[in-house]
Structure formats: structure tokens, C-alpha cells
Amino acid sequence: MATTLTPKDFATATPSWWCAGCGDFGVLAALKQACAELGLEPHKVAFISGIGCSGKISGYLHSYAFHGVHGRALPTATAVKLANTDLTVIVAGGDGDGYAIGAGHFIHAVRRNPDMTYIVMDNQTYGLTKGQSSPTSMLGYKAGPHPQGNPDAPINGLAIALAAGATFIARAFSSEPKQMAEMIKEAVRHPGFGIVEVLSPCVTFNKVNTYKWFKENVYHLDDLPGYDVRDRVRAFATLTQPGKIPLGIFYREIRPTLEELMLGTGRPPIASLPIETVDPGLAALQDAYA
């Protein structure tokens, strides 16, 4: 008789050291809910995380876990997936971990399209190291380490992912765990690299982008008539539109994963694919320089 798992089956006995009210609690709750509803088994899940407040999350989910160094979660996860393609690989980190020191790894993981899910907890500050501005902090963001204001323009991580070739892109808000759990489930089901960026307020250091601020400054893609997740141009326009922050699934497409192309799992390996299948322009280029 099959055992029905619950979110409690994905909980660990490790006490959390997150601040009370941290948005990452909502991410953890949604993640456990998603894993249970997907029928995943803890011993078939590999959870990789980086450094920072968000990086501790791998100690709070009952699964195989790897807590790596700053910015290196994605290459580690890629290696895990290539070594054991049967594992469900989930990666988690913060905006600093993924979009600053890990930015190079981020872009290349996106374009390689390994079959994994990446959850980016965006609190728009470096919470672990006393509130410095992060890659997603607003221009002029003031905090203790720089009272005169952040001089750097913020990075739009999801727009960068789309430009780099991401095949599944979504954004959630940590105070909406049910909607977030659905997005995580869709990302895990997606055959390829799925990124779910989560607006996850830092209640200790970021006094600007609070829960109240986000609630007043977000809207849902479901409220846009005729939005099509297959429309890459509209997805990019929506992600880069100034003003309120959109939540939901922006874009999805199906193309061969890294494992399929390198290992031949599911589809023929890349060596056996006709060159025009990969890129019609490559055949003409090859002929021109033959």
C-alpha cells in the first residue's frame, strides 16, 4: 500500500536560526508542501544551497542536502544531476548568492537547461552580513553600511534568465505560500531548468521592502487578460515594465535538457542529432568554412 507523504515528512529536527518573521519561513513551508503534493520521497531528492541566510534552508528540508560555498550551488547541483539523473534536484539561494558572486554560474546553468529547480529568495539586502545593498536593492537604498544610499542600479534576475534562454520562469511572494507551492510544483514538473524567484522580506535589516510594501506593490499575471506563457516577447516586456511587480509564471518552453544532450537520456545525444536540428544556421556556416 502506497504511503501518502505530508509536509511533516520533509521537516528536520534542526532548529532554525532565521529571524522571527523572515520571509524564508514561507519559502520552506511552500517547499515542503510542494514536495509532499508531488509525491516525492526524501531519499530521491537532492537539495543544494549556497551561503547566506537563505543557504541554511537545506538543513531544514528532509532530503539529501549539500550546503555549499557562496555562489557555487548551481554548478554543484548540475554535477549532482549529471551523476544521478533519477534524483529530483532542487537548488536554493539568495539574491546575493545567485545574482552577485554566483552570477556567472547562474547564466550558464540557465542556458545549459539541466533538469532542476532553482529557488531564489530575494530580500533585496545582504541579511547575513548586516544589511548591505544586494544586486536587487533599489537605487538609493539606505542602510547602516551605506547611509548615503546605494549607487548601483538593481539587477532584474528573471529578465536576465529569459535572455539567457531559461525554459521556465516564475515569481512568488513569501506571504502567499499556497500560490508559491503551486509554482514550485510546476517548476519541478518542468523538464528543464526552472527558476522561481521569491520576494522574501528581511524583517531585521530591510526597512523599505517590507511585507506591507510588497503587498501594495505586486500584482498577479492571472489578472492580465490573454497572458500567454509561451509568448517570450510579452514575458520580457512584462518583466521589464516599470511600476508594480508581477507575480506568476511568466514563460515556459520545452527544449532538450543538458542530460539529454550529454548523456542521451530521453532523447538521442547531441552527436547523433543532425546539425540543422540544433541550429539551422550552423549547417550553412559549416559549409561556408569547409
Q: Bridge-partner residues for 231, per DSSP?
A: none
3-state SS assignment for residue 92: strand
Residue 144 has a pLDDT of: 77
Q: How far, in Å, CA of 89 to CA of 114, rounded?
A: 10
If asked whether residues 281 and 172 sit together in one domain, one would say no
Classify 290 as helix, strand or coil: coil
Exposed / middle / buried, residue 80 (Cβ in 10 Å: 0-12, 13-18, 19+): buried
pLDDT single digits (tens) 233-265: 999 999 999 999 999 999 999 999 999 999 987
pLDDT value, residue 88: 97
Structural domain range at position 139: 7-255
Polymer length of the chain: 290
Instruction: Convert the pLDDT of each residue in 204-221 to its tens digit.
Output: 999 999 999 999 999 999
Rounded to an integer, what distance in angstroms lies between the CA atom of residue 175 and that of residue 170? 16
**Number of domains present in the structure of the chain:** 2
pTM of model > 0.75: yes
Q: Is residue 2 part of a domain?
A: no
* Residue 281 and residue 200 share a domain: no
The domain spanning residue 122 has which CATH number?
3.40.50.970
Q: pLDDT-derived band of residue 126, with 50, 70 and 90 as boundaries?
A: confident
Do 271 and 245 share a structural domain? no
- Residue 113, in any domain of the structure: yes
Indicate whether 194 and 240 sit together in one domain.
Answer: yes
Q: In this structure, are strands 245-252 and 168-173 parallel, antiparallel, or unpaired?
A: antiparallel
Of 269 and 75, the structure prediction assigns the larger pLDDT to: 75
- Convert 50-64 to b/e letters by CB count within 10 Å (16 or more is b): bbbbbbbbbebbbbb
Residues 290 and 220 in one domain: no
Which residues face 45 on adjacent strands? 88
Place of cell 512568488: 172
The pLDDT tens digits for 59-114 are 999 999 998 888 899 999 999 999 999 999 999 999 989 999 888 999 999 999 99
Claim to verify: residue 243 and residue 220 sit in the same structural domain: yes
The predicted pLDDT at position 266 comes to 52
- Looking at the fold, whether 221 and 267 belong to one and the same domain comes out as no
Looking at the fold, whether 99 and 243 belong to one and the same domain comes out as: yes
- 250 domain-assigned: yes
Residues 78 and 66: their CA atoms lie apart, in Å, by 13
Tell whether 53 and 190 lie within a shared domain: yes
Beta carbons of 222 and 185 less than 8 angstroms apart: no
160 and 282, same domain (yes or no): no
Q: Are residues 195 and 156 in the same domain?
A: yes
At 10, the amino acid letter reads F
| Tens-place pLDDT, residues 183-206 | 999 999 999 999 999 999 999 999
Distance CA 39, CA 4 (A): 7
Cα 6 to Cα 191: distance, rounded to the nearest angstrom: 24
pLDDT band at 51 (very low <50, low <70, confident <90, very high): confident
Co-location of 283 and 226 in the same domain: no
> Is there a domain that residue 75 lies in?
yes
In a domain, 240, yes or no: yes
Residue 218 lies in a domain: yes
Cβ neighbors of 163 (< 8 A, separation 6 or more) are: 236
Extract the C-alpha cell encoding 211: 511585507
> pLDDT by residue (tens digit) across 145-175?
778 888 899 999 999 999 999 999 999 999 9
* Residue 1 within a domain: no
Residue 35: how many CB atoms within 10 A of its CB?
Answer: 28
Cα separation of 81 and 114, whole Å?
A: 8
- Asked if the model's pLDDT at residue 128 lies above 70, the reply is yes
Query: Contact at 8 Å (CB) between 204 and 21?
Result: no
SS (H, E, C) 231-244: CHHHHHHHHHCCCC
